[in-house]
Amino acid sequence: MTTGHDRPTRPAIPAAVGPADVADDGQAGGARRRSGRRRRRRGKGGDGNPAGDPAGGNGRGDRRGAGDPPQTPSTYAALDLGTNNCRLLVANAAHGGFRIVDAFSRIVRLGEGVAATGALSEAAMDRTVDALKVCAQKMMKRGATRRRCIATQACRSAGNGAAFLARVRDETGIDFEIITPEEEARLAVAGCADLVDPQADAAIVFDIGGGSTEISFLARRETDARGGGGAALDLVAWLSIPFGVVTLSEKYGGAALSRDAYAAVISDMKEEIRRLDPPADVAAVFQDGRGHLLGTSGTVTSLAGVHLGLPKYRRDLIDGLWLTAVDARSVSERLRAMSLEGRAGEPCIGGDRADLVVCGCAIFEAILDLWPCERIRVADRGLREGVLAGLIEEDRRRAAKRRRAKTRARRRAAKRKEAGEPDRDKNGDA
């Protein structure tokens, strides 16, 4: 596992996020909306959420915050290739953030069997390439000139991960980067940290993926601690463990877990999570009840959907929802006790994730056991939103730098003109 602490890195926190992910396979993503609520239809999302919303269907899309847009309009794409899912968002910069124009999500289970064999299987790679060809077409159709395509735990851990990504580049034209666990944790925080309660002094952000779980400890800056009220957040400690819903389900059997087997998964995960070692004063803030959990994964969105008894997944009801610890544990036990068919029949889970969600619940309960709190907030957003916010922020800063350079050049020209000197800024000649 990988850890980091005593590194006060300010996460790139968007002011407001909120795309509705769309695609033929559908999956909800994003965050707070600025364009009002709209009806959502359920799709098949992977380890993420099973909901979708046709972002491009009415030409309006969704807007989310990431500062002012750059001067030159660009179309941005964020593609996240995980152990379980292949997920794409395409967006345009907009005032106050970005506007989603297209999206795609498909369960590919790229990391299926990697824990046992150490390699990506031919069938999993073929499934993934097929999905990525759809992504490539969407990015080309939308003219996504600025893109970042990231691969996570499956490609990090598989012996043939790099060779597979070379094949992807040859067959689809998509160039992936395998990101570090630290970068994965940072992007998850960047994508959802605006959902941290402004009155809380600390929060733990957790992202339960297919092949790994990232946990990040956020705290208010020391000068603002105790006050809350929206003071800036610092990422003070993080942890990445190489276990997620796919790897644990393969190890323990996700279709059916007895109460004892479920308790064993929780116990094993607690041993891993204990390695998260935030500074003592920050840990005390959380233990004093001035913090809360914030979950970005499909596990917590599924828990929320089942808790609400939704007949179909509704992102507008899930994203930002507060769950009590008692309710979350109650739903986890209900899902554990259900048959595989029963979980598959849950509208907010479906057949594709029925064998995965119980191990996700076990990871969540392990976190809650070690960092008990009364409230858990649910985030239907994550890595892709963090990627988009980062790309737009880069362009915004470059545009601001160009504006400053032009302003300095005009001032120099004005001073030379006042002094009767020739203007050298236009063509470099006197």
pLDDT at 3: 56
Tens digits of residue pLDDT in 328-359 = 999 999 999 999 999 999 999 999 999 999 99
**Same domain for 285 and 353?**
yes
Domain, as residue range, for 227: 184-378
Instruction: Name the more confident of 166 and 48.
Output: 166
Tens digits of residue pLDDT in 282-335 = 778 878 888 999 999 889 999 999 999 999 999 899 999 999 999 999 999 999
Tens digits of residue pLDDT in 180-223 = 999 999 999 999 988 999 999 999 999 999 999 999 999 887 65
Collapse the DSSP code of 407 into the 3-class scheme (helix H, G, I; strand E, B; otherwise coil) and give the result: helix
In a domain, 402, yes or no: no
**pLDDT band, very low/low/confident/very high, at 426 (cuts 50, 70, 90):** low
Per-residue pLDDT averaged across 144-153, rounded?
Answer: 94
**pLDDT band, very low/low/confident/very high, at 61 (cuts 50, 70, 90):** very low
**Same domain for 113 and 209?**
no
**Same domain for 302 and 366?**
yes
**Same domain for 204 and 275?**
yes
For every residue of 92-115, DSSP letters joined together read EEETTEEEEEEEEEEE--TTTTHH
CATH number of the domain bearing residue 330: 3.30.420.150
**Highest mean pLDDT pick, 60-64, 101-105, 273-277:** 101-105
pLDDT at 334: 96
Instruction: Name the more confident of 336 and 277.
Output: 336
Per-residue pLDDT averaged across 54-64, rounded?
Answer: 37
Collapse the DSSP code of 270 into the 3-class scheme (helix H, G, I; strand E, B; otherwise coil) and give the result: helix
**Same domain for 172 and 196?**
no
C-alpha–C-alpha distance, residues 135 and 10, integer Å: 31
- Measure the N-to-C terminal CA separation of the chain; round to a whole number of Å: 62
Cβ neighbours around 428 below 10 Å, total: 6
In a domain, 5, yes or no: no
pLDDT at 399: 79
Owner of token pair 């068919």: 341
Q: Record the pTM.
A: 0.77
CATH number of the domain bearing residue 121: 3.30.420.40
**The domain boundary residue, chosen from 148, 182, 216:** 182
**Same domain for 237 and 313?**
yes
Domain count, the chain: 2
pLDDT at 73: 60
Of 358, 350, 328, 346, the residue nearest 259 (C-alpha):
358
**Same domain for 216 and 364?**
yes
pLDDT at 303: 96
**Same domain for 30 and 156?**
yes
pLDDT at 212: 94
